Amino acid sequence: MLRGELVSEALQISPDWVRISTAAAIELGLKPGRIAGCRCGCINLLQNYPEGCYANCSYCGLARERPGAAEDNTFIRVAWPLFPTDLVADQIAAKEANGGVGRVCIAEVQDARAYGDLVDMTRRVRRRAEEVPISALVSAPTLNEERLRELRDAGADIVGIGLDAASRDVFHDTRGRGVRGPHDWDQHWEIARAARRIFGPWKVNFHVIVGLGETDAELVELFYALHAEEIAAYLFSFNPEPGTRMHDVPRAPIERTRRIQLVKHLIEREELPRDAIAFDAAGAIARLDAPAELVEAAADGGTPFRTDGCPDRAGEVACNRPYGSYRPGEEFRDYPFPPGVDDLATIKSEMRLHEVWRDGGEA
């Protein structure tokens, strides 16, 4: 990148400028290209500041201490091109008028300016596209109840929060004081519960990542806790980003990811009882006792293995994030489209469910 371009990007900051995922830029016609096999259902936007983000999450491409210039960093391993916010809002409105937009998501970074700019950017989209659903992916330390209400009044109907870590200890070691970060486990839960009161049931979600060092038992306990509080859990797969603290940490084995996806689905959709899941000494799923009709219907339908995210107006997943958890040519960690027959065969082979599943608990 030329020096003049670096200076220019340093001045192109939010709320007047916004980064947009490459898939969303293609969907809006702001970049050439096509997305194989599906459309991009959610227009994902990301705030831009020359300093990047003041948080220091050990796996994140925007982390404060990641080497290099902030504008050269990636987020979930892909580039996010920069455009004027009003241009993006106009393109959203044009697409909304010509077939509709599934959802818009505006992601806030950790910065003293970020909350006010998030409200401003939400209002800009809402003024141009009055009916489009808008999610705010927030940084919990910037919020309180009054600010959550202002965000709702600005036009957001869903709040997403990056809890990411499935346990207090993993959170400390990857997001909190263990990595000189500003995030606090208890404060994230306080904001999520406040948002649940203000926005309503299933209008708040935690992002949860498989592969940060948690156990299966911790993930399962979190799924039950969130389900009881009517807070959604949206599952992501850890994918190491170059230059981060966790750049050399291996990904979770694919069979583990598939089993977690299946169990989460059974907990949320089929009310799977807690005693149907047993764990070994290391906290890994060792036994799943569930009726064959439930397990086979889930595996054959493919829903547990699709990308997990905020819904569109019809209640279908809008945030399908093509290539968010894998690169072209890599194995799918989640599917941004309904898995086909060949995909389902691959999923079942990867899951190796026969190693842990018993039909209804029978030996």
Find the angle CA(272)-CA(157)-CA(129) to the nearest 5 degrees.
135
pLDDT tens column, 291-323: 999 999 999 999 999 999 999 999 999 999 886
Distances (CA, A) of 284 to 94, 190, 253, 299, 326: 48, 29, 12, 20, 24
Question: Which domains, from first to last, does the chain contain?
Answer: 3-252 (3.20.20.70)
Residue matched to tokens 């959709």: 269
140 close to 147: Cβ distance less than 8 angstroms: no
Specify the pLDDT at position 321. Answer: 87
Model pTM score:
0.92
Alpha helices for 106-210 (secondary structure H): 114-128, 145-154, 168-174, 185-199
Is the pLDDT assigned to residue 4 strictly greater than 60?
Answer: no
Grade residue 75 by pLDDT with cuts at 50, 70 and 90: very low
Residue 48 burial by Cβ neighbours in a 10 Å radius (0-12, 13-18, 19+) = buried
Grade residue 6 by pLDDT with cuts at 50, 70 and 90: very low
Query: Mean pLDDT over residues 160-188, rounded?
Result: 97
Find the angle CA(345)-CA(347)-CA(352) to the nearest 5 degrees.
100
42-47/103-107 β-pairing = parallel
Q: How high does pLDDT run on average in the chain?
A: 92
pLDDT tens column, 96-136: 999 899 999 999 999 999 999 999 999 999 999 999 999 99
Grade residue 7 by pLDDT with cuts at 50, 70 and 90: very low
